[in-house]
Amino acid sequence: MNKIVLFILIIITVLIIDYRMVYRERFIDKDYLNSYLIGLYNKFKYKFNDYYKNVNNIVDCTYCIVMPIRKDYMIKEINKIKFNCRFFDAITPKDLTDQDIRVLSSTFEFSFLNIAFYNKKTKLALQLSHTMCYIDSILNKYDTIIIFEDDIISNDLSKLPDTIEQFKQSKFEMFYLGYCTLNCNDKYNIDKYLIPVHKTIHCTHAICYKVKYLPNIINFIYIMYKPIDIMLKYYNYKYKNKICISKYVFFDQNDYLGTTLENINNKKTDTSSCKNLKII
């Protein structure tokens, strides 16, 4: 009996330590973190470069986070959709110091609750790439932005301008331009073009944001303890944020490009599987 009690106490102790390690953002000075992120923005702002097609964007800025090996692919996609674009050369682990990683994430902290995240430096690099776009849009006082990753596939975009316009006038904070992990078996209500969704969706390959909410997002996702798509999912769930998709899948992911991240499971997935939603 004593051995059982001792075992239980050990497990409880491990879980308490584990919890504090994974969720240590609760014990960190947010002003210090924000100052640290601004310092990284000043360090990495040389990675921004504009690609203009002399068209009128439907948002204030469209950001494209790209790895060098996918730059040509993304230029072809941008040419197809005829957007002006601000490219951002993706941050890589080589760009980061161990201090950056320790200050901004739990990457180096082993956790039984988060084994898949342990020592995966590319996860923070991707989140920081998104964060640099967030900060750039805030400093430029934009209202609405889109952020693409470098594996998008564009579909029929004829309804995109009207859908974005409805999003701008709505109370939604984020607009997922693809369906990703959406539960296909649920039933969804629709208001003209937009469909409210819940916590089951998480992906970052194509999202439209209202910039006024980005400071709240930045404040929540640091310190990072999960990949950015999950961090955003947790953020939306915790604060019951209004997020949406459209009945049109504007952008899928090109799974045949593979991944540049350190994922445990790199199997191809069907990101178009929910095109026929159950709309009521």
Q: What is the pLDDT along the chain (280 residues), one digit of tens a residue?
A: 577 766 676 666 555 545 554 555 555 688 999 999 999 999 999 999 998 776 767 999 999 999 999 999 999 998 888 888 999 999 999 999 999 998 998 876 666 566 666 567 888 999 999 999 999 999 999 999 999 999 999 999 999 999 999 999 999 999 999 887 777 777 788 889 999 987 668 889 999 999 999 999 999 999 888 899 999 999 998 899 999 999 888 999 887 775 555 444 444 444 444 656 666 6
- Would you state the pLDDT for residue 264? 42
Single out the residue of 157, 170, 171, 162 nearest to residue 193, CA to CA: 162
Q: Where are the domains of the chain?
A: 2-279
Its pTM stands at 0.86
Contacts of 211 (CB under 8 A, 6+ apart): 60, 137, 138, 141, 142, 143, 144, 145
- The pLDDT, as a whole number, for residue 142 is 97
Question: Cβ(38)–Cβ(135) under 8 Å?
Answer: yes
pLDDT at 119: 60
Name the residue among 238, 225, 261 with its Cα closest to residue 65. Answer: 261
pLDDT of residue 15: 56
CATH of span 2-279: 3.90.550
